[in-house]
Structure 1
Amino acid sequence: MEESQLERNRRNGFLALVLRPINWLKMLGEEVHWSFVIGVMIVYGISQGFAVGMSKVSTMYYMKDEQKVQPSELQVYLGLLQLPWVIKPLWGLLTDTLPVLGYRRRPYFIFAGFLSVTSMLALSIQRNLSLAFSLLSLIGVSAGIAIAVVAIDACVTQNSISHPSLAGDMQSLCGFSSSIGALAGYSLSGFLVHLVGPKAHVDSIPSAARLYCFFSSFYPLHNLSGVTLTSQGVFGLLSVPAGLVILVGMMLKESRVHKFTHRGVNEKFLDAGKAMWTALKFRDVWRPCLYMYLSLAVSLNIHEGMFYWYTDAKGGPSFSQHGLFASKNSNLSLITYHEISSWLNSDSELGCSDVLFWYGMQEVVGSIFSVGAVGSLSGVLIYQNWLKDHRFRDLLFWSQLLYGASGLLDLILVLRLNLKIGLPDYFFVVIDEAISMMIGRIKWQPLLVLSSKLCPAGIEGTFFALLMSIDHVGLLSSTWVGGLLLKFLKVTRTQFDNLWVAILIRSLMRIIPVFLLFLIPRSDPNLSILPEEMLKMKKGDNTLESENTEMVSLVDST
């Protein structure tokens, strides 16, 4: 009887664990309209998370292997993709002040989707693209995603003001959607790149030999040896998620704007500018803005230097040149393409039926990013369940210290200390990526919640876009300064002697924001920060109108 009761309790506990996220989503849907919840999932989960996760690996390999750029140059070029995010206030102003055909949001979703689709298809269809055209197309994709995110951010911000106690939950929903989408994108990236876009030459391998590698599923080795990755096929597939944004815009129900004349657009732009300037002069607004920029700018980004070291350094992991091999009669081992080719051409008695798998390490880079997405998702879970009620300043203090310490894991890897303690490169890189992304997300979540509380009524979308653009200027600064650091230290495609110095400098600079925490208010994260008069909507002919934008039921919409 007691055993039966114990087993029943366990079953009920498991059921409660499964139902917990469902009940949480149900609660959010009841409070802020469930179609808003689905809208966040589509834009953040599919358009941003999944699509960016899918394209990141192929984009980096494309720039490295086909465009032949140096690490410092790649830092600058990828920084250019941030430009549409830097001008997010412009997109926010347009959605807040310039209705199209009587609607404020629907046309911008449609435009964003078409821009992304056409840019994706241009990359997919055209061959032997110049560097300039490739960058222009990638910037177009980035702009389409940015515009869609601005439109949905306006809804998130409005609901955060009307439901301040749920601000953390809504930002967690954004984080969950983005992380899960990125996890799916990174996990599928290697498989889909090889399914729709590889070029291979296999003259040295007998056609009778059949090994199978695992790119989220098995794939014949005769299509693998000598693989040169191309991103065109993946970009073609990524036009589908972009098309979903068009569908959301077409099906989105929102009240039409009445008595609107385009003659008043300039005046509304001026009103929005004045409102933003008034808000920025408020002490509890400009100080957090300054902190957000500085905390990101001084945390130098040298990711592309690490990526080249992962794949090309002679003394490094050489992920582009190796694979994992296992058979029924041998343990898991790391061997090169040349070694597996020599083995297949030898008189070895080991038959193809004895081979368990061959896992191409070029795709391991995608799996590393997918583990990073799991770490990011874990960070959201930790914040949502245990940290969301902590004061901003206290949480940022500890998370920033841990963020600086996590950077030293790269130093251990580059100095090869992990091998001295018997920890293989791949597993150490996976641990490094998961921990860094988890801590980074824990550090980022309270800043997002804080940003949502700094937006005055009437220009929520515009002002939140302004805050996010400040963040992206910080990211752009860290990326370009990181590229200059790599160039100054002479870190190139083949030279990595000073990479450890760059890692040490980056890790030490991550501690600097700890001394800037006086810029962050000591307020309770569940309370409003702005004065009451800035949170009240202003009505009138010459003032901005704030509407409670709700995405309609996507049962009827999509």
Structure 2
Amino acid sequence: MPVALARRLLGGVRLAYLPVLVTYFAYGASAITGVALVFFEKDALRLTPAEVAGILFWVGLPWSMKMVAGVASDVYPIFGSRRVAYLLVGALCSLAGYAALVSVVETKGPFLLAMLLVAVGFMVQDVVADALSVEVAETEEELGQVQALGRMALLVGSISVGYLGGWLAGRIGARGVFAVAMVLPLLVAVGSAFVRPGARPRPAPADGGPLGGGRARLVMGVGLSYAALGVLLETFQAPFAQEIVLVVSGVLIGLLLSRVGVSRAVIVAAFVIFLFRAVPGVGQGYSFWAIDRLGFDQQFLGILAQVSSVLSLAGLLVFRKTIVKRPVSFTLFWVVLAGSVLYLPSIGLFYGANEWLGISPRTFALIDTTISAPLGQLTMVPMLVLIAKTAPPGAEATMFAIMASLMNLALSASELFTRYLNTAFAVTQQDYSDLGRLMITVGAIGLLPLLALPLLRRHERGEINREEFEAKRRDLQR
């Protein structure tokens, strides 16, 4: 019975999935530094919530450069290796970043550089895992299975370190936790030994292929130029540097999408999900307030992280088949609506709703986390499957990377808007008086993506009608 239940929940699992699942697991387990980073930013570096959002903007940018690593992995093998070598390069970058956090980071600048190294490393690993997830799948059904299992592996990684990260932060301090995290890139390096040639044929890109006719050089050139622009603007502290990078990035990624070629349905879905992911958050001000005013310590924040991870995995297990089969618009509608409703308890906690109900702040926060945790992971699985179905053989990493670049650019946009709001409401460690109004504003803005869903629904219905027409035409030709 337990075996049958596991098979029904997880589906079939093959050894070929191992490098993919290990890489996603390691990225999920990188959450072990989550609580440590909050206290490191607050107490060691003395950063404001707006400054943290500004740093997270730059740290998120490598993820919008996945196109560079994707093209490199597809077209430019290292010593004949298209996947393993890039996994090892990514692992080395993350290892160097964690080592810097352990030893030399004392101020905002070195902290940003170390975090960028960690982000670049995990980004490269993620690109290769995305490509391998397509290569190991022999059918479209199995492709969806690998994507769902990958999300689960990421969440299992988070679960395994949720409480542990908070407990370690309280016992050995932030730098000690960063030292423990150095094990993760080593785990990816070990997993790379199990990479095998994919079941799908992967011919070298021809001139007419998605990476032929100079397109690979175009993607590499655009990506590297974009990286250089960001470095120069930040180095010379140019005014509106983040805004310039964001706009230029969007234009360049749009150009790459038009040149490489994706279906109209994918573009529309990507646009809507971009809006969803670009919604600003409250920022670290809420965490700082909970630590200073409510007395939340490292261990309790670890408990919240643990509960969130477990329930996110439970939500994905329960709704996996439903969200793979349902249209993207269906999933987004319910996630946005439910997310907005379930955000209300956080606002209530700031205004003392727990006192009206006779509940302690910790119990109230635990209940809030319990009911809202599963939502975040549910939006990405249908998008990943949609992208995977359009990925031509030999360009899997590139198609995933360019679309994921757009998604991650949205997260950088979210951090930029978060910085705007924290600056406007002047939330600092010395003054949390306007934090409540900031949270209400963020909650209202979170409903705006619903306005774009009718556009997505129209295109989804058009795609369904075309598929039905093609099916009937094939039946008549038999």
> Normalized against structure 1, the TM-score is what?
0.70
Q: Secondary structure at 1:302's aligned position in 2? A: coil
2:267 to 277, 286, 289: 286
Amino acid of the residue matched to residue 107 of structure 2? Answer: S
Counterpart residue number, 2:460: 522
Give the Cα–Cα distance (whole angstroms) in 2 for the partners of residues 259 and 506 of structure 1: 47
Aligned to 2:93: 115
1:109 is paired with a residue whose SS is helix
1:89-120: CA deviation from partner (whole Å, max 9, x where unpaired)? 11111101101111100110111111111222
Could you tell me which amino acid in structure 1 is paired with residue 6 of structure 2? P
Match of 1:231 in 2: 174
- Larger strand proportion of the pair: 1
* C-alpha separation in 2, matches of 1:183 and 1:528: 42
Give the CA deviation at 1:490. 1.4
Q: What SS is found at the alignment partner of 1:453?
A: helix
Conserved in 2, the CA contact under 8 Å of 1:28 and 1:37? Answer: no
**Residue type at the aligned position of 2:28:** G
State the match for 2:110 in structure 1.
133
* CA drift at 1:425: 1.1
**1:373–1:506 distance in 2 versus 1, CA, 3 Å:** same
Alignment of 1:194-213 (within 5 A): 194-195=170-171, 197=172
Any stretches of 5+ residues in structure 1 without a counterpart?
A: 1-15, 198-229, 320-360, 533-558
Gaps of 5+ in 2: 206-210, 221-254, 471-478
Which residue of 1 is the match for residue 12 of structure 2?
28
8 Å contact kept, 2:27–2:154: yes
Contact 1:109/1:248 (CA < 8 Å) preserved in 2? no
Counterpart contact for 2:340–2:447, Cα < 8 Å: yes
Alpha-carbon distance between aligned partners in 1 of 2:339 and 2:454, rounded to the nearest angstrom:
19
| Counterpart among 92, 102, 106 of residue 124 in structure 1 | 102
Equivalent in 238, 241, 255 of residue 184 of structure 2? 241
Q: For 2:347, give the aligned amino acid.
A: L
Counterpart secondary structure, 1:490: coil
Question: Could you tell me whether the CA contact under 8 Å between 2:35 and 2:165 is conserved in 1?
Answer: yes
Root mean square deviation of aligned Cα: 3.1
Letter in 1 for 2:409: V
| AA partner of residue 310 (structure 2) | V
Instruction: Name which of 339, 356, 368 aligns with 1:420.
Output: 356
Secondary structure at 1:522 match in 2: helix
Partner of 2:127: 150
Who is 1:318 aligned against?
295
CA distance in 1, matches of 2:139, 2:380: 21
Q: Hey, which of these two has a bigger chunk of helix by percent?
A: 2
SS of 2:305's equivalent in the other structure is helix
Q: Describe the superposition over 1:378-408 as per-residue Cα deviations: whole angstroms up to 9, x where unpaired.
A: 2212222544322332232222211121222
What is the deviation of 1:423?
2.1
Residue in structure 1 matching 2:216, options 240, 262, 269: 269
Q: 2:28 aligns with which of 49, 62, 69?
A: 49
Q: Deviations over 1:342-392 (max 9, x none)?
A: xxxxxxxxxxxxxxxxxxx33211211111112211221222254432233
The partner residue of 1:64 within 24, 42, 63 is 42
Larger Rg: 1
Q: Does 1:97 align with 2:75?
A: yes
526 and 439 in structure 1: CA distance in 2 versus 1, 3 angstrom threshold: farther
Which aligned pairs between 1:353-502 and structure 2 lie closer than 5 A?
361-502=297-438
User: What is the SS of the residue equivalent to 2:62?
Assistant: helix
Q: Which amino acid aligns with 1:50?
A: A
Between the aligned partners of 1:39 and 1:249, the Cα distance in structure 2 is 6
Q: AA paired with 2:84?
A: R
| Identical pairs, percent | 23
CA shift in 2, pair 1:77/1:528, >3 Å:
farther
CA shift at 1:271, angstroms? 7.7
TM-score calculated relative to the size of structure 2:
0.81
Counterpart residue number, 1:309: 289
2:179 partner amino acid: G
With over 3 angstroms needed to count, the CA separation of the structure-2 counterparts of 1:292 and 1:528, relative to structure 1, is farther
Describe the superposition over 1:428-452 as per-residue Cα deviations: whole angstroms up to 9, x where unpaired: 2122223322122223333333333
Report if aligned partners of 2:88, 2:189 keep a CA contact under 8 Å in 1: yes
